[in-house]
């Protein structure tokens, strides 16, 4: 195992890269002035943009590698991990395959062609840190060998930190919500990837039987089963939760999991079902019609039923009737109506004094803060029988009077 401690890139690599940059500039200047090309000493250079990084125990990281020809010649370069800490593993990959060699083309030729040839990202080095690695600074040495003693070594400085520091997480802005049966719930969640590499997270839930849970990336409309999150980035996810229709009142836990190659992130949502609220209004025979007489109350018996699974409180009865009609109830308020229970209420409907014969609509309603119902009654206003008898009497008196007049005066 290689010892821990602050380590630096080998000075030879630093000088070589400086020489590479300087020679490239010199070659460009030579082309512009028409002078002979300048050739670098040495053959190849292997580098990476970030040779020193921080990782967590158990993590796998990737180093993109660049290769340069310092003398303008083409090379087939053999790659190897010259030294690794004990129990650490690593390999070179390119084009999604594990590789052992890379090729760089030469750029020097006759005339004033540029000397330095650079090929970027020909290969990556994937490094796996064991889960039991202790905190500290470790060194990894990579070797590039073009043959004939033409080699270069790249030293990587890897700092292992505690797993708790910068840990990735899966959180919810409002993890607890409540609503009545039949309500759909929407939770805004976020996955934060604090690792140094991109992660692909598989999404799942352990909802109660009959519940539906779907995941939708923020700003999109398509449900997904997995999602990619860039290194040191975050991704918003909308979690939609639909309870079954017959769900009972109570609190329900919905565990969520996002799993990648390096992380198992957990989140937990809570849905509180406050119950099913439903109330109906009807009559004993189901008829929603009645007969009435002007300026006279007609009684209508109403059945108020709580069809939900939660007690209803403060149920208020009200009406909407034609102008100048009067409607009152035997009870204008029901303090408590238990789940599944019914209660009879009498409504008294009184058409106005000048109502003419015909059909009218009167709406009766019952409502609480959770549920409501209403029924439209057809009220047929009839002519009073008393007035009919009186009219017949009047007619009879008139007939008798006329008969008397004709009998007394008709012969004169």
Neighbours of 178 (CB within 10 A): 12
- pLDDT value, residue 163: 54
- In the prediction, which pLDDT does 379 show? 96
Question: How many Å apart are CA 294 and CA 290, to the nearest integer?
Answer: 13
pLDDT at position 387: 56
The predicted pLDDT at position 388 comes to 58
Taking the whole predicted model, whether its pTM rises above 0.85 is answered as no
Tokens 């009559």: give the residue. Answer: 283
Q: Are 191 and 168 in contact (CB under 8 A)?
A: yes
Decide: 27 and 68 in contact? Cβ < 8 Å: no
Residue 338, pLDDT score: 94
pLDDT value, residue 8: 33
Closest CA to 152 of 3, 17, 26, 38: 17
Q: Is 229 exposed, middle or buried (0-12, 13-18, 19+ CB in 10 A)?
A: buried
Query: Is 267 exposed, middle or buried, given 0-12, 13-18 or 19+ CB atoms closer than 10 A?
Result: buried
pLDDT by residue, tens only, the chain of 412 residues: 333 333 333 333 433 444 444 444 444 444 444 444 444 455 899 999 999 998 888 888 999 999 988 888 889 999 999 999 999 999 999 888 899 999 988 764 433 334 445 555 679 999 999 989 999 999 999 999 999 889 999 999 999 987 555 679 999 999 999 998 888 999 999 999 988 788 999 999 999 999 999 999 999 999 999 999 998 899 999 999 999 987 888 999 999 999 998 889 999 999 999 888 889 999 988 999 999 999 999 999 999 999 988 899 999 999 999 999 999 999 999 999 999 999 999 999 999 999 999 999 999 999 998 899 999 999 999 976 555 566 677 887 777 777 777 776 765 5
């Amino acid at each position: 195992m290689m010892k821990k401690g602050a380590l630096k890139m080998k000075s030879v690599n630093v000088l070589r890269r400086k020489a590479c940059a300087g020679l490239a500039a010199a070659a460009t200047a030579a082309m512009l002035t028409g002078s002979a090309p300048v050739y670098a000493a040495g053959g190849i250079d292997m580098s990476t943009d970030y040779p020193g990084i921080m990782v967590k125990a158990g993590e796998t990281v990737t180093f993109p590698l660049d290769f340069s020809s310092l003398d303008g010649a083409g090379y087939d370069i053999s790659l190897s991990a010259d030294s690794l800490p004990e129990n650490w593993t690593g390999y070179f990959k390119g084009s999604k395959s594990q590789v052992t060699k890379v090729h760089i083309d030469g750029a020097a030729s006759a005339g004033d062609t540029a000397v330095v040839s650079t090929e970027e990202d020909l290969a990556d080095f994937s490094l796996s840190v064991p889960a039991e690695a202790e905190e500290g600074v470790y060194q990894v040495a990579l070797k590039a060998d073009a043959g004939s003693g033409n080699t270069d070594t790249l030293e990587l400085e890897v700092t292992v930190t505690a797993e708790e520091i910068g840990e990735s997480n899966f959180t919810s802005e409002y993890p607890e919500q409540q609503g009545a049966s039949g309500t759909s719930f929407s939770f805004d969640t976020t996955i934060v990837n604090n690792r140094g590499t991109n992660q692909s997270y598989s999404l799942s839930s352990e909802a109660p039987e009959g519940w539906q849970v779907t995941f939708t990336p923020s700003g999109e409309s398509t449900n997904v089963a997995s999602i990619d999150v860039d290194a040191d980035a975050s991704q918003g996810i909308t979690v939609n939760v639909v309870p079954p229709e017959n769900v009972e009142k109570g609190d329900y836990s919905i565990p969520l999991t996002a799993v990648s190659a390096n992380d198992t992130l957990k989140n937990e949502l809570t849905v509180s079902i406050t119950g099913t609220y439903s109330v109906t209004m009807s009559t004993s025979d189901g008829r929603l019609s009645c007969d009435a007489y002007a300026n006279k109350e007609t009684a209508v018996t109403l059945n108020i039923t709580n069809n939900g699974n939660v007690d209803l409180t403060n149920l208020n009865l009200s009406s909407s009737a034609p102008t100048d009609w009067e409607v009152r109830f035997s009870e204008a308020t029901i303090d408590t109506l238990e789940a599944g229970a019914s209660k009879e209420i009498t409504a008294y409907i009184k058409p106005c004094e000048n109502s003419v014969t015909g059909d009218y609509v009167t709406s009766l309603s019952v409502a609480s803060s959770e549920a409501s119902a209403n029924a439209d009654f057809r009220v047929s206003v009839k002519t009073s029988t008393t007035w009919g008898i009186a009219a017949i009497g009047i007619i009879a008196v008139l007939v008798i009077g006329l008969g008397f007049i004709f009998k007394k005066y008709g012969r004169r």
